Structure 1
Amino acid sequence: MPNRPSALVLAVASALAAPAAVATDQVLHCGRLFDSRDARLLDARSVLVADGRIEAVREGHVEVPGADTIDLRGHTCMPGWIDLHVHLASESSPQSYSEGFRLDPEDYAFRSVGYAERTLLAGFTSVRDLGGEVVLSLRDAVNQGLVRGPRIWAAGKSIATTGGHADPTNGINARLAHLQGPPGPTEGVVNSVDDARQAVRQRYKDGSDVIKITATGGVLSYARSGDAPQFTVEEVRSVVDTARDYGYRVAAHAHGKEGMRRAIEGGVATIEHGTYMDEEIFRLMKRHGTWYVPTIYAGRFVAEKAQVEGYFPPLVRPKAAAIGALIQDTFGRAYAAGVPIAFGTDMGVGPHGDNAREFLYMVEAGMPAAAALQAATFNAAEVLGSDEVGILETGRHADVVAVPGDPVADIGAVMQVDFVMKGGVVHRAPGERPRP
């Protein structure tokens, strides 16, 4: 019989083959912890972090020899917040429309670096950027550690129809339009199911993480209608089916009811804005499992700026006044109807870094604070299709935001972010003022 290895040899071999245990790097002593899965506050917890991920969450405040201890006993710890609708390459101003003729992509790219850092320091450790070509490079720079910013799921160029909300030639004169030529699927403008398929494949080639279509007119585009449907159901289905081939989910900008209906029946994952939803659309969204990303902040911002002479062009101003003011009421009715809701602001319309104000508007419209926090954590991670963010559980990214006090009792606490950790790296420590 052949010689059998001894028990000692087997034990040594097994130890060599097993991965080495990762030592705990940090321990967060949290006064409270928000359980985003069940939308409830837990009492004192310790979050153990190892190699950028959550090693464990334990009751009480435990001591781990050799680990850095961060005292958050006067704070509520939450999963890093997720904003599902941002535009990190730009920020609204009265000069926004003329800047498109003067600025180069590099100018927008440099601006985006500051906007990304502001967003991270405000507590948003993950975002879905729904339109902006330079953000694909910003995402890569963040991932490489070259600049500070949140985790970015980037759409790149939004997909529109001719004259639609994301047609890049809207508002330019005939001479410039002739020089540029009519935009097509490469530029994100489609007019058939074949075009739609090609546009998605181009986004794959560009390196996008998600697909965004503009299913209706929009408020800020240089075009008359803010709510007319701009895709057929067949075109939407072509986008969705092709996107599925590449593992993409599709977000649909939509204000008008008919455009929403077509987008939902075409299979999109989310409806953004949703201004003119009614009971029929609520039922349709629940039947199809379509998420609603409300962007109340953007609606209130544009309605306010519509009152400022010269802030918007004359073609845009009436749309901003009429549509923007309605979104918060729509949100309240959608929540009461049981529509699945996830957090999104459309930041870039308003100033980056003010994203958390959306929580206040959600609660003001009738959503309980715990549900609003869940919308920006567990629900938003579900929309992204990610099992690495949105919950403080073992194995997830160590993305943590903390605020003084109890945001479930007083949602205003979200405006006092005092601690931000992303992937185990502390970007904002208690008492530290962010850079201007």
Structure 2
Amino acid sequence: MPSIYTLTLTTLVSLSTAYSLPPNLHSRQALSDLKTGSWLLTWTPSMPNPQTYKGPLRITSNSSSLYISADLYNGTTNPDPADGSPILSRENYWAFVRPTKLSSTSNGGFDLGLEFYKYKGTPNPFNHYTDWESEPWEGGLSASLSASTAPAGFPSDTSYFSGNVTFAGNGSAAGTLSMGWVSDYVRRYTVEIGGVAGLERPLADASGTRTWKSIFADALIDMSLESGVDVPDQPNGIWDTAQAHAAMLQYRRPTNFDRVWRIYLLMVKKDRDVARGAMMDGKRDSNDPVPREAAVIANEWLIGTNADGSPDTQHAWPASVVGKPFVSLHDAWFRTAVHEVGHFFNLGHPAEFQNGLMDDTQTYVDAGEQGLTSKKFPENIDARALAFTGWERHFMAHRPDTHVRPGWIDFGAAAQDETPPVVLDLLA
């Protein structure tokens, strides 16, 4: 199986919001009803198991590829389709769903091969790698779905499918399955921006055209923005990570991560532990058992210096910007805020320069000097620098909830392996 790092941009470059059938697939008319975005998936197993499983199913596509992934949760909670992509309790997570085959049927529906990979938890408290069953539950399932009228509450009466599920191995009954479209977006998050009074908040690029909403919409993420309260400054205006984390816990809105995926962004003048900004709680500890909740941005960090104020001699910062406060380079500063939130999806820095949002700022300084961008820093912070790459958008859409929702597993390599297996192109 190829590494998720080596999936080609040819395959992943476009996660468009409309699905058009390739020329050789005109006979698959039912597939054109599989709208991009989020669906509410419900599986009711055959007796004697009385449990019903629900969760988000995500579809991204373009003219030549189609990807589907889903997560199933047990429990009695019934998500409201009007809310959009379902958010369910972490303790009820049951399995990651990977479809393996998709074909249209004569009744206007389609058949879907399914693999359920059961989640076994995070057995090692020091690295929080997730533990999954290595083989699909019961060897896999087959679902035969046809168009149905959506129950009350769904935003579309026609984008709804239901049918029977059988075990792939012997064809015996495995229950019923339904999926109803709920949103153009595959996932939904909220960023709350608070900080020291009087400091500018990062709301958009200098042109006003690249906003939190538009940048994340390119990745089919529904991003909402909330204004947080003002936070008292440190006496000398210089913070450290522990102080920033304490301020987050005290001043952030009450947050239940089983109901809302909220990320808190704290704006300060300077932080002695980081230069421009950073996630402040990538890993859980004894003081706070919830990881990936918040990041800090230092508006008055002096460009071309290290966090302690000493000159940064590792990168060729242009003399024209050295010594200026970070906020004065508006687009680079705004981009850093969005970049840090990208880490909450468990996206790391690329191993090589990609000219995208998850390259860090000093990499753009180096890229300009090395001729990897047509302009030097800060002019190379353009629209492309404010966009996620195709691979990043794919990761954000199709890795399990465990990996990308805030407040669950730690940041880092634990989310970058191939367990459970990556999703397949169902039109390949």
TM-score higher than 0.5: no
TM-score, normalised relative to structure 1: 0.30
TM-score by length of 2: 0.30
| Relative contact order, higher structure (CA 8 A, sep 6+) | 1
Write 1 or 2 for the structure with the bigger share of strand: 2
Q: Which has the higher helix share?
A: 1
